[in-house]
Amino acid sequence: MILALDIKEREAIYSLVKEVLPFIEFFKVGAVIFTRFGPGLVYDLKQRGCKVFLDLKYHDIPNTVYEACYQAAKIGVDMLTVHSLGGYKMMRSAMDGVKRYEDENGKRGPLILAVTILTSIGEKELHDELLIKGNLKDVVLKMAENALNAGIDGVVTSQNEISIIKNFNKDIVTVVPGIRPKWSERGDQKRITTPYEAIRSGADYIVVGRPIYAHPHPKEAAIKIVEEMESAGR
């Protein structure tokens, strides 16, 4: 499980990490808190023994994404995201940026994940706003295929598309956001699932945020979700 640290106060972040660290060791740093606290937050988390998922969804010209991924590797993140809509050349450049870090340092760089279609996007938004034809699953699969062809390690996708992605390539890493236990609120995401359903569907990682950090007792919420994941087997 990866815990999304979508909290705006630095000390509250550290307090939460300290409370759940025995049960969760992977933490997502998104655009809001990275913009506010910068690389220093990543350094602090790494010093506490955490793994860091830098979720900035890089989507720019290839050279810019190359440099961004190289710098992300240098600050020590374990996983990062690019947006598949940036195209093959951009994703290939992301991989090249991490490879440069690996060649210079002689160690493994971060996994690179491609975001396919945001979990806040449904069929209506896909067609009416983004003007992308085809059904959602077909579009997600095409985005995943493009990412794999570029050498990307995995994809961020909803639970609904895990099976078709794994059928396409069983070794691709799948990270599923939009996780909501049955006892939590739905929030603003359209394509959600429970921890149990995601693990049973073949997710390698799940990302959980509000059900834990907004809970009156985050440690208890984390334990409940871990138990639900374990009950799914696999």
Please report the sign of the dihedral spanned by the C-alpha atoms of residue 19, residue 223, residue 117, residue 82: positive
Please report the sign of the dihedral spanned by the C-alpha atoms of residue 62, residue 52, residue 107, residue 165: negative
- Which of 28, 46, 51, 57 is flagged as catalytic? 57
Q: Which helix (H) or strand (E) holds 155?
A: strand 154-156
Q: How many CB atoms lie within 10 A of CB 6?
A: 16
Please report the sign of the dihedral spanned by the C-alpha atoms of residue 111, residue 112, residue 114, residue 115: positive
Residue 57 designated active-site: yes
* Joined tokens for residue 186: 């739905």
* Catalytic residue numbers, as ranges: 57
